[in-house]
Amino acid sequence: MTFLNSLFSKKKPVIKAKCPITKENIEEGYGYMLTTPEVLSSKRYWDMVMTEPETLSYTVSHFKNEPSGTHMRTVIFEKYANINKPWMVSDSCINLFEVDKSLAKDRAKQWWKSEGNFTPETVSSLDENTFNQFKEYAIYEAGRNRLPRS
């Protein structure tokens, strides 16, 4: 009977997490959960994003005053700014963000414990002025110091 029960019983779904930044799998019980405003307000994050191999050409174009590069950097910013769910990030990239790491770790633990159903309250939202400051940085300044001097 237990054999039949095991065959027909619903299996508990396996909860998985993958860091959206590094694409690495996050083992159960690990990781940090950030809100989109916490991600958007990191200059180090934007410097990294705007100088990745996939975006570097847009950054080079932008700093050569080519409108197409600036346009694509705007599209990239808006893509990330419109993410409506929390970010589960890996240990290897948490230092990109100036956040309360213990709070972010606790959120991740709650997420694991709730089998992926926990969503933090929107406790950290950016006021319009702060949002615009980070938007301006991401679009117009991010990555400048990482480019070779010509």
pLDDT tens track for 25-74: 999 999 999 999 999 999 999 999 999 999 999 999 999 999 999 999 99
- Is the model's pLDDT at 101 over the cut of 60? yes
The whole-number average pLDDT for the span 88-99 is 96
Residue 36 lies in a domain: yes
Q: What is the mean pLDDT of residues 123-145?
A: 92
Q: Is the pLDDT of residue 3 over 60?
A: no
Residue 19 within a domain:
yes
Considering the domain boundaries, does residue 3 fall inside one? no
Q: Is residue 6 part of a domain?
A: no
pLDDT at residue 4, rounded to an integer:
54
User: Nearest 10 degrees: CA dihedral of 84, 21, 143, 77?
Assistant: -20
Host domain of residue 128: 14-145
- Give the chain's domain count: 1
1 domain-assigned? no
- And the tokens for 146? 């990482």
Q: Is residue 5 part of a domain?
A: no
The H-or-E segment that residue 17 falls in is: strand 17-18
Could you tell me if residue 127 is inside a domain?
A: yes
pTM: 0.85
